[in-house]
Structure 1
Amino acid sequence: MSDSKSRPKQPARVNRNTGPQAPMEALLADAAFDPLRRALWLDALDQRLRPSLPAALAPHARVANYDGSRLVYVVDAPVWRTKLRLIAPDLLDAARSLGLDVAEVVVKTTTLPFHPPKPAEPKATPMSAAAKEALQAALASLKDPEQAGPKDS
């Protein structure tokens, strides 16, 4: 007998590259989704640079773009723009530590807040006495006849 016939067959190796992809991976594989891929990358960059910001400034500033040598931030008020410009050297060091070749930090101001206030829930108006009586009469008419008790004929 030959050696090849005496050994048990090995199970076939599973090639994970040819199987089904996760939905997000399939979406990002298409070139049409390059802007989405870029937005996700910028969001990840923002999350990595956020610890470099002072606690009071962090909710008011976001990374808006990175275009080779400029790191662009957007803030929601002029006061935050000034504070961010003061810490720009620290941001440059933090960005360089991540491997980005950044030469300057540009700060833009938006007129809209990053976290708009939640709309107020409408307040319930008090019910008038006539409306309350009408509602109780309607509810009474819906009751099961057996629960309402015997009717006089």
Structure 2
Amino acid sequence: MSEPKNPRRPSSPQAALDALLAEPAGDPIRRALWLDGLDHQLRPLLPPTLAAHARLANFENGRLVFLVDGPVWRAKLRLAAPELLDRARSFGLAATELVVKTSANPLAGSASPSPASRAVKPMSTASQEALKAALASLKSPTPSGNDVAE
């Protein structure tokens, strides 16, 4: 018996990546990887406090589109726009405009902690007493409608 002409190769991460990047299905993935690399080049040019709240979302037709997680960061990024555009041009991008959009949600990797990671503060003594009083009032019998004087 002879060996098959095209034995099946075992799957590997590189083979899976090659399949994902195959034309034409790989175009969006290639673009996402390129935008991520561009983001990693541009964000260090921003002040550190601002860089933690901004992320490159797109670059198309000369427009750099950044996403920020609050109106304050939007204003600060717009102030940094001329310098950022100059630096982007130094990388060879034909950047002519900076657009900043505000997200309602914190960006991934931002400095603001998520609700799940925030430390739980202990309840104050006054709050504990008020809670106990409220719970006790729920346990006490309520007057029936028959006890009302006519």
Q: How does the TM-score come out when normalised to structure 1? A: 0.61
User: In the alignment, which residue of structure 2 is the partner of 1:31?
Assistant: 24
Are residues 1:105 and 2:98 paired?
yes
Counterpart residue type for residue 72 of structure 1: V
Are residues 1:66 and 2:63 paired?
no
Counterpart residue type for residue 51 of structure 1: P
Question: 1:30 Cα deviation (Å)?
Answer: 3.0
Listed one character per residue, the Cα deviations across residues 73-131 of structure 1 (whole Å, up to 9, x for unaligned) are 010000000000000011101110111101110100010001461636xxxxxxxxxxx
Report SS of the residue matched to 2:107: coil
Counterpart residue type for residue 114 of structure 2: P
Q: Superposition pairs for residues 48-59 of structure 1, below 5 Å? A: 48-59=41-52
Rounded to whole Å, the distance in 1 between the matches of 2:99 and 2:116 is: 33
User: In the alignment, which residue of structure 2 is the partner of 1:119?
Assistant: 116
User: In the alignment, which residue of structure 2 is the partner of 1:43?
Assistant: 36
**Greater Cα radius of gyration, structure 1 or 2:** 1
User: In the alignment, which residue of structure 1 is the partner of 2:81?
Assistant: 88
Counterpart residue type for residue 77 of structure 1: G
Counterpart residue type for residue 69 of structure 2: D
Question: 1:54 Cα deviation (Å)?
Answer: 0.2
Counterpart residue type for residue 86 of structure 2: D
Rounded to whole Å, the distance in 2 between the matches of 1:112 and 1:44 is: 23
Report SS of the residue matched to 2:52: helix
Rounded to whole Å, the distance in 2 between the matches of 1:46 and 1:32 is: 23
- Structure 2 gaps, min length 5: 1-11, 118-150
Judged with a 3 Å threshold, the aligned counterparts in structure 2 of structure 1 residues 96 and 25 are, in CA distance, closer, same or farther, namely same
Q: How does the TM-score come out when normalised to structure 2? A: 0.62
Percent of pairs with identical residues: 59
- Structure 1 gaps, min length 5: 1-19, 121-153
Report SS of the residue matched to 1:107: strand
